[in-house]
Amino acid sequence: MESSPVVRILIGVVSVLFLVGYIAWRFMRAGQVVEAQAAFGNDMSSYFAAMMQDPRWLRLQQMVQARYPLAPPGTNPQAYVVQHVALVDDQAQMYAQRSHGATRVVALLVRAQPSSQIYVSMDLANGSVREDPAPYGWTYLGPPR
């Protein structure tokens, strides 16, 4: 049984409308995802800036500077750069700066030449400093900033 030309044209028009609607939906969804990623990056940037002024990090920074060469980003490829600083608990969950559940200050130090990453942490209770394995989610070069 053959379908009439009107039915074929109608099916073609509906298919094109569906395709245009799908592309428009994907475009709008992509915009929402990009906005969410930008907001997350801004949140992490403000968290990082606040943590760089935190007295708990400043204590760890003094101890780290005595052990590793630190430099601002882009100045010395052989020195370490502080990529990220966070407050974490024993299960490596991140905490806000003013919350009370954190037990450690953790810093990610990255060096370009030779390439290496160091995760340094300080226990907030007794001040002991150690190199740790990467906390969950820190297997790349830190959260976006």
Percent of the chain with pLDDT over 70: 72
Which CA distances in Å does 86 have to 44, 76, 92, 107, 123? 10, 24, 10, 7, 12
pLDDT of residue 128: 82
Helix (H) or strand (E) holding 45: helix 5-52
pLDDT of residue 17: 96
Confidence of residue 143 (pLDDT cuts 50, 70, 90): very low
Angstrom distance (rounded) from CA 113 to CA 111? 6
What is the distance between the terminal CA atoms of the chain, rounded to a whole angstrom?
62
Tokens standing for 58? 């400043």
The stretch 23-32 carries a mean pLDDT of 89
Higher pLDDT: 133 or 35? It is 35
Q: Convert the pLDDT of each residue in 80-120 to its tens digit.
A: 888 878 777 776 666 655 666 777 888 888 887 777 778 88
Would you say the pTM of this structure is higher than 0.75? no
